């Protein structure tokens, strides 16, 4: 398949077009792969999930999915990958608990670029180790999408596994590489993936690592994960899910004095961010209703350990980036 989208290629905007795409791809994948095995790094994000579902339909258990839990995923994500792919779709799924490995490597590392590098390099190392344990793999599937090829997409580099050593250079299988994100979502729905997976908000490859500012510690990372889960739940309850482009929490590496049970205590603040954008190059702020902000604040202060303040970041991009990093 060429890397250029043909000018006459129809935009996939409905289930009928999605089904036609699936039928065509399943045929092409069967032909490309034959009776060989394919390996896929399955993060649970939209793109890799759609590729997994397409391949399961085409070649079933010849697909081997590897899900690496690097400890920087959102609450419930590894469980959802197991539930959907192993339990519902009967996929051949290898779950790798690499939490300690990643967090040990990241301990004491302050510099954001260094953190990203460690996460990316460790991911490739874990994936490589798993690949070496398997026999007869000839293909590597990737959730490359068209904006990745155009290099102008809303999100930065994927966790693709292009850094594998030479003796593990498999033939690439990239069935959605000519599709735009909205088309990938249509295909995901037609393949029966849950809406919560298909319409997931963008999530950076280094995960919560870019929202746990400074050197990551397990307790502060837990504060990011728990506060993010509360924010998402309350957005769901308020009907804001799907209406706001991206929303999450950040926990900086600083403490301020507060008071708990009549005792002064130094704890972290949680920062809320909720933005709207078309292309992530600029962003505006979602005006969260005050009652929702109040509910989120109350819950974070009573349910998340180590936190004594909640702040709401109303900085547009520019000047602020979407992530704090
Ligand atoms: P910024 O913070 O630059 O982010 O305004 C723009 C968008 O990109 C996402 N982002 C990433 N996505 N890998 C990704 O796949 C990354 O390393 C990464 N860093 C930021 C960010 O969440 C926002 O949607």
CA 157 to chain centre: 12
Q: Which residues form ligand 1's pocket by a CB distance below 6 Å?
A: 155-158, 202, 204-206, 210, 246, 280, 317, 321-323
Residue 154 has pLDDT above 70, yes or no: no
Residue 234 has pLDDT above 80, yes or no: yes
Report yes or no: 68 and 40 within 8 Å, Cβ to Cβ.
no
- Inter-axis angle of helices 290-303 and 218-237, nearest 10: 150
Residue 54 has pLDDT above 60, yes or no: yes
CA distances for 265 relative to 77, 220, 271, 307, 309, angstroms: 33, 16, 19, 10, 11
Query: Distance (Å, rounded) from C-alpha 276 to C-alpha 245?
Result: 5
Please, which residues have CB within 8 angstroms of residue 171's CB and are 6 or more apart in sequence?
A: 138, 139, 140
Q: Confidence class of residue 159 from pLDDT cuts 50, 70 and 90?
A: low
The mean-pLDDT minimum among 162-176, 231-245, 284-298 falls in: 162-176
- Tell me the pLDDT of the chain averaged across its residues: 95
Nearest CA to ligand 1 atom 3: 321
Query: Distance (Å, rounded) from C-alpha 4 to C-alpha 146?
Result: 9
What mean pLDDT is predicted for residues 239-256?
Answer: 97
CA–centroid distance, 280 to ligand 1, in Å, is 8
Residue 7 has pLDDT above 80, yes or no: yes
Residue 152 has pLDDT above 90, yes or no: no
Please, which residues have CB within 8 angstroms of residue 24's CB and are 6 or more apart in sequence?
A: none
pLDDT of residue 321: 97
**Nearest 5 degrees, angle CA 162-CA 166-CA 167?**
120
Mutate to test the pocket of ligand 1, among 323, 324, 325 (most ligand atoms within 8 A of CB): 323
CA distances for 256 relative to 33, 100, 211, angstroms: 57, 29, 18
Report yes or no: 5 and 178 within 8 Å, Cβ to Cβ.
yes
What mean pLDDT is predicted for residues 136-152?
Answer: 90
Nearest CA to ligand 1 atom 15: 204
Which is it for strands 137-141 and 246-250: parallel, antiparallel or unpaired?
unpaired
Q: Confidence class of residue 58 from pLDDT cuts 50, 70 and 90?
A: very high
Q: What is the pLDDT of residues 72-108, one digit of tens each?
A: 999 999 999 999 999 999 999 999 999 999 999 999 9
Residue 39 has pLDDT above 60, yes or no: yes
pLDDT of residue 156: 45
Residue 155 has pLDDT above 90, yes or no: no
Q: What is the pLDDT of residues 175-212, one digit of tens each?
A: 999 999 999 999 999 999 999 999 999 999 999 999 99
Please, which residues have CB within 8 angstroms of residue 261's CB and are 6 or more apart in sequence?
A: none
Q: pTM for the full model?
A: 0.94
CA–centroid distance, 3 to ligand 1, in Å, is 24
What mean pLDDT is predicted for residues 157-171?
Answer: 79
pLDDT of residue 311: 98
Percent above pLDDT 90 for the chain: 92
Residue 160 has pLDDT above 90, yes or no: no
Q: Confidence class of residue 158 from pLDDT cuts 50, 70 and 90?
A: low
pLDDT of residue 169: 84
The b-or-e profile of 259-298 (16+ CB within 10 A means b, else e) is eeeeeeeebbbbbbbbbebeebeebebbebeeebbebbbe
pLDDT of residue 1: 83
Which is it for strands 284-285 and 92-97: parallel, antiparallel or unpaired?
unpaired
Mutate to test the pocket of ligand 1, among 43, 202, 204 (most ligand atoms within 8 A of CB): 204
Given the CA of residue 245, which atom of ligand 1 is nearest to it? 24
């Amino acid at each position: 398949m060429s890397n250029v989208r043909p000018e006459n290629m129809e935009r996939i905007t409905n289930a009928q077009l999605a089904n036609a795409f699936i039928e065509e791809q399943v045929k092409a994948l069967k032909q490309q792969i034959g009776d060989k095995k394919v390996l896929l790094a399955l993060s649970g994000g939209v793109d890799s999930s759609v590729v997994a579902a397409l391949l399961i339909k085409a070649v079933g258990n010849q697909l081997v999915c590897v899900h690496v839990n690097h400890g920087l995923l959102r609450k419930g994500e590894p469980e959802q990958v197991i539930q959907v792919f192993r339990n519902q779709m009967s996929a051949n799924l290898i779950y790798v608990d690499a939490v300690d490995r990643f967090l040990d490597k990241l301990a004491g590392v302050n510099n954001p670029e260094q953190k990203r590098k460690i996460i990316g390099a460790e991911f490739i190392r874990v994936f490589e180790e798993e690949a070496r344990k398997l026999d007869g793999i000839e293909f590597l599937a990737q959730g490359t999408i068209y904006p990745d090829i155009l290099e102008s997409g809303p999100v930065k580099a994927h966790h693709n596994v292009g850094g594998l050593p030479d003796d593990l250079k498999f033939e690439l299988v990239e069935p959605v590489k000519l599709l735009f994100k909205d088309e990938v979502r249509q295909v995901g729905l037609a393949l029966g993936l849950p809406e919560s997976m298909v319409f997931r908000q963008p999530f950076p490859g280094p995960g919560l690592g870019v929202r746990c500012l400074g050197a990551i510690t397990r307790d502060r990372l837990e504060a990011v994960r728990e506060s993010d889960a509360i924010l998402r739940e309350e957005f769901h309850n308020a009907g804001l899910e799907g209406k706001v482009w991206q929303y999450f929490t950040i926990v900086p590496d600083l403490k301020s004095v507060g008071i708990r049970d009549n005792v002064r205590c130094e704890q972290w603040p949680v920062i809320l961010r909720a933005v709207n954008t078309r292309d992530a190059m600029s962003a505006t702020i979602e005006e969260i209703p005050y009652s929702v902000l109040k509910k989120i604040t109350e819950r974070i202060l009573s349910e998340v350990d180590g936190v004594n303040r909640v702040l709401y970041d109303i900085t547009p991009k520019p000047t602020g980036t979407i992530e704090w990093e």
